[in-house]
Amino acid sequence: MPQPRPLRHARRKVRLRARTATPGNVVAVHVQVEQLVGGRPPARPGRRSLHFEHVPGEAARQAAAFSEIPLGRHVDDVGGQVVGQDGDELTVVAGIGVAESTLDAVLAKRRAHELGQGARDEIGQHGRRSSGQVGRQNAGGERANDAPRPRRTGWAQDGKPAAGLRASRLCGTAVSDRLHPRRARLQIGTIRGVYTPTTFAVIRISAMRFSLSGLSARLNALLITSFLAFQAGAAPAPAGVSEVASVEGITEYRLSNGLRVLLAPDASKPTTTVNMTYLVGSRQENYGQTGMAHLLEHMLFKSTPTTRNALGEFSRRGLQANGSTSADRTNYFASFAANPDTLKWYLSWQADAMVNSLIAKEDLDSEMTVVRNEMESGENNPFRVLMQKMQAAAYQWHNYGKSTIGARSDVENVDVAQLRAFYHEYYQPDNAVLIVAGKFDPQTTLEAIQATLGKLPRPQRKLPPEYTVEPVQDGERAITLRRAGGTPLVAAMYHIPAAGSPDYVPFDLAATILADTPSGRLYHALVPTKLAADVFGFTMDQFDPGVAMFGAQLQPGMDQDKALQALTTTLESLAAQPFTAAELDRARSKWLTAWQQVYSDPEKIGVALSEAIAGGDWRLFFLQRDRVRDAKLEDVQRVATAYLVPSNRTEGRYIPTEKPQRAPLAQRPDLASLLKDYRGDPDFKQADAFDPTPANIDKLTQRSQLDLPNGAVQLALLPKATRGGRVQAELLVQFGDADSLRGQRVNAAAVADLLERGTAKLSRQEIQDRFDALQAQVEFSGSGTNLTVAMSAAGEHLPELVALVLDVVRNANFPQDQVEEYQRQAITSIRSSMTEPTALASRALARQDNPWPADDVRYVPTFDEALAEAGKLDRDALVTFHERFYGAGHIKFSAVGDFDAEKVKQALTTGLQGWRQAPAYSRPSDPYRAIEPKRFNIETPDKANAFYISRMPLKLQDTDADFPALYLANFLLGTSETSRLWQRVRETEGLSYNVRSNLSVSSFEPTASWTVYAIYAPQNRERLEKAIGEELARVLKDGYTETEIKDGIAALLNYRKLARAQDSVLASTWINYLKRGRTFEWSAEMDRQIAALTPDIVNAVVRKYLRPEAFSTAVAGDFAAAGKAAAPGQAAPEKASP
């Protein structure tokens, strides 16, 4: 059991509960640490006492046993059986299970006291675990937390054990996995006592018998002594809730029904994230049940007796909610603007959904097409399919080899009764962990959790044990996938340790050293040598031993054999070419920067903890960070060399070994001992609260202008406390106009993409190393007249990061080898898009509204034109463009977070000093154009998922009086989960996994577009288009109801508030406002106009602008296979009918 803090002079109040007490029934005794209770120092220094408190239950149907039990570190199970009842007096035979192989340290002394005095046995300072506690389930049913899940055990009156006992791993000592039922049982006595539901019972021993068959002679004594139970003082947590552990501001509690709760309060960001993680995933699915865990994820959003449309309720309350399923867990999470009422409502929904979901046949039928559509969407991705097939080859026995989404036949033929049984088996309090992160009051939240989820009963069922272990792989395996479209891939997959293993992190760091770009060994072996266009690599951190996958993406014509040979040789030659300290330091810096990004965001950490829980314990999130900090080069080398061997490899594409090697058998780690005294980072501190109202944002933002000799810099700086001291910043450099940039469209984009590939003084790798040292993530992007640099970093490093970014922007030198590499990657990306339904349909509509000449920066090229342009990229042209257009004069900069504004201003002033002035900037106009509606049918052979998109041009600007009403109308049409399109297409007819509408409106001129899009199965094209057309017509004819308008306003305002709580959104919005001459007062006024909308206003605006017949439509998919023939890859325009 986890130890919250050292206990040398304190007592622990412990609950011992007998589950059922009718005569002859087995009593499973549950031992649970409740809280710390003050007390005098124990009789012997260095030891501590355990006291048991009675918990009232059903009067004559429950037994209460109170005693001090000398549970040494090797005691594995406590159990009992009611063998007699005389009125209110019960007789219970009690017993303790002990692992025979580790009994040498078990000693106990008897210390009995007179009735009413109590008693106390001293036990050693060793950590202890009672296997009466239900072991936590990870996704898939494995015993997670700190030990395997034990079997409950009772003892018959004759002293013979009633059932087998599954041993635990105790204090780092692994014991036998299964004990003989007669060799590890000690009947320690018969307990008699009187049970009363309102008082505490007196328990005394009336008989002592020992059955020592097969036990070690080193066991001297185990006994139970009697004492009078007492009522302890009031606990800081609500009744029935106990604190278990706390690390760096995150505290774990346990409810009496077994539910574990993690609270991670953080007032620095006014949002709350709630994540319910069920420790069940595809790992728990039996034969014929693949996909069941994922299907349940969909069904939970359907209906309970009190909530018929959960997603709609979320939308009405402004919750961003979703769910996900993996092999090890299923989670349901929601983020919303901090609000106690919303939090209480969502907790009540979670409680309702946990035990009351209907899992109705009609809901299953409507959702089935949605699930199929999601399955088909994955089938469109060659990499995803190849990875699934490689996992299936790598795992011959373990369920990690099964796709989480399931076999199509299993999903389509699922039995609703089996689905309900699966739900009732795993969706229970003792198999779930609730995470609440962000801004909330911990005390009232605990009370709300206890009042909702705490009322659910502890289940009586036992979760089935898991015992399948994947054997060590004994030879290379290979997969070849042949499908239409995409670009060539080669890959290699290796078994690795579980997420909780001490060897996982060293391997993860090794994977970064190998697969990073551009520092990684795979990159140097394959990309500059032109064996591949790009490389990748990653590990899968899972509860049981997982896999690592490395691979390369090729251009057509590249030799797959040579690429695969280079890939595997690089991975498996580490003994001859060991890692260096510099490589490890680089990987460590990159890993810690990514970790800090997650840790600094309450919304992300609320979801990230799910993965740590799935891996075995939420504290793995912190433990793995510590392991990265402390990782030694020899461990990284040892682990990588051990697992990266040919016999452990499964290779794939889109040979026997003379001396076979065997990888070590990975063991599940003993997290209880590893985390027993873990406390986390002592420097952790909470950030201050932040109010995201427009008025407060304007008040705190320092708006100014730096007037430099070579031009002005407009600033919007918002210093504020943030979690982890992070800052989000954005730099905008503007230059030129439509005329001066004629013929430069491709160069404008390529120059921005290539900036970080090298400067006159820094190589690409040196630039990346500098970013990592500053704990920074930097993204360069540009097109036409703009360069944008988005930055995220530790606030203390922002001035140095700004200086580095400006140096890169000013002094990029576009190395020839990097230009060629970029060219190959661009060509590969374009070729991949040429067979993708989404890319083809979207490009068809974009080119329809394309009046510009081919040399204009606003021109949209065909894919063939884009390929030709990429093939003509020239370094000299890029250098000329950079020297001609990049410069000072039109620069804007924003920053939001924990930083020193004056130091940032100084860094900007110094970094821009002496830079040439850019050509005068003028934004290329984009006026409204009336377009004749057309239809485009595009064939994409062998693609299981199709794409639909319709668009209508509008003459509208965001300063027009009609804009707020049309903004809300679009939200109600297809932006939220209560929208007309979502309810009809996804919920009612189950035709699409994702259907949305979007309204894009210019701030600079009266031009806009209204778009509807969806993914779907090709055979459902007519049904989908009919449903969308009917909903557009219904909105136009009948308008929106008063309830829709009222709920939509509330939800939309909540979403806008949530957006203003994101630091990256604030930084980007300030750049947009600087371009438009606005402040957040504009946002406040928009909120006021939205709040004032009425059905009459909104419906009048809808009828003014919406014209279904004016939509142009493009559809792309494998319609030939569905009986809808069209020329492959060709667009056939015809009159639109959305």
- Read off the pLDDT of residues 292-325 as tens digits, 9 standing for 90 and up: 999 999 999 998 999 988 999 999 999 999 999 9
- 70-113: pLDDT as tens digits: 333 333 334 444 445 555 444 444 444 433 333 333 333 333 33
Determine the topology of domain 935-1134 in CATH. Answer: Cytochrome Bc1 Complex; Chain A, domain 1 (3.30.830)
List of residues 6+ apart from 6 with CB closer than 8 A: 677
Q: Which of 137-146, 458-467, 500-509, 989-998 has the lowest mean pLDDT?
A: 137-146
Which of 3.30.830.10, 3.40.190.10, 2.60.40.420, 3.40.50.10790 is the CATH number of 694-912? 3.30.830.10
pLDDT tier at 228 (50, 70, 90 boundaries)?
A: very low
In this predicted structure, what is the pLDDT of residue 658? 60
- Cβ burial of 425 (10 Å; 0-12, 13-18, 19+) is middle
Q: How many CB atoms lie within 10 A of CB 980?
A: 20
- 1018-1075: pLDDT as tens digits: 999 999 999 999 999 999 999 999 999 999 999 999 999 999 999 999 999 999 999 9
CA distance 806 to 886: 11
Q: For the whole prediction, is pTM greater than 0.75?
A: no
Identify the residue with better confidence: 1112 or 147: 1112
In this predicted structure, what is the pLDDT of residue 66? 30
- 777-819: pLDDT as tens digits: 999 999 999 999 999 999 999 999 999 999 999 999 999 999 9
CA distance 669 to 387: 27
Q: Which of 163-172, 440-449, 705-714, 876-885 has the lowest mean pLDDT?
A: 163-172
- 870-921: pLDDT as tens digits: 999 999 999 999 999 999 999 999 999 999 999 999 999 999 999 999 999 9
Strongest mean pLDDT among 13-17, 79-83, 258-262: 258-262
Identify the residue with better confidence: 136 or 414: 414
- 279-295: pLDDT as tens digits: 999 999 999 999 999 99
Domain 241-455 matches domain 935-1134 at the CATH topology level: yes
Exposure class string for 852-861: b at 16+ Cβ within 10 A, else e: eeeebbbebb
What's the start-to-end Cα distance of the chain, in Å? 61
Tokens in use for 79?
A: 């159990």
> Taking the CA of residue 790 as centre, how many other CA atoms within 13 Å lie in the half-sphere pointing to its CB?
12
In this predicted structure, what is the pLDDT of residue 376? 86
Asked if the model's pLDDT at residue 160 lies above 70, the reply is no
Write the DSSP symbol of residue 427. S
Identify the residue with better confidence: 158 or 639: 639
In this predicted structure, what is the pLDDT of residue 685? 77
Task: Read off the pLDDT of each residue in 712-736 and give the average, rounded to a whole number.
Answer: 96
In this predicted structure, what is the pLDDT of residue 191? 38
* Residue 246 three-state SS: strand
Task: Read off the pLDDT of each residue in 734-744 and give the average, rounded to a whole number.
Answer: 97
Task: Read off the pLDDT of each residue in 367-392 and give the average, rounded to a whole number.
Answer: 90
Tokens 């001035």 label which residue? Answer: 799
Percent of the chain with pLDDT over 70: 77
Could you tell me how many residues make up the chain?
Answer: 1138
Q: Considering the domain 477-674 in this protein, what is its CATH number?
A: 3.30.830.10
Identify the residue with better confidence: 513 or 481: 513
Asked if the model's pLDDT at residue 1118 lies above 80, the reply is yes
Percent of the chain with pLDDT over 90: 70
Backbone φ/ψ region at 911: left (φ over 0), alpha (ψ -120 to 50), beta: alpha
Identify the residue with better confidence: 353 or 135: 353
User: Do 91 and 202 form a contact (C-beta atoms < 8 A)?
Assistant: no
Helix (H) or strand (E) holding 435: strand 432-438
Identify the residue with better confidence: 946 or 33: 946
CA distance 528 to 820: 9
Asked if the model's pLDDT at residue 200 lies above 60, the reply is no
Domain chopping of the chain, boundaries:
1-235, 241-455, 477-674, 694-912, 935-1134
Backbone dihedral angles phi then psi of residue 211, each to the nearest 5 degrees: -120, 100
The rounded mean pLDDT for the chain is 81
- Cβ burial of 60 (10 Å; 0-12, 13-18, 19+) is middle
> Taking the CA of residue 123 as centre, how many other CA atoms within 13 Å lie in the half-sphere pointing to its CB?
22
Q: Which of 22-31, 760-769, 907-916 has the lowest mean pLDDT?
A: 22-31
Task: Read off the pLDDT of each residue in 413-427 and give the average, rounded to a whole number.
Answer: 96
Superfamily designation of domain 241-455: Metalloenzyme, LuxS/M16 peptidase-like (3.30.830.10)
In this predicted structure, what is the pLDDT of residue 377? 86
Asked if the model's pLDDT at residue 923 lies above 80, the reply is yes
Cis peptide before 518 (omega within 30 of 0): yes
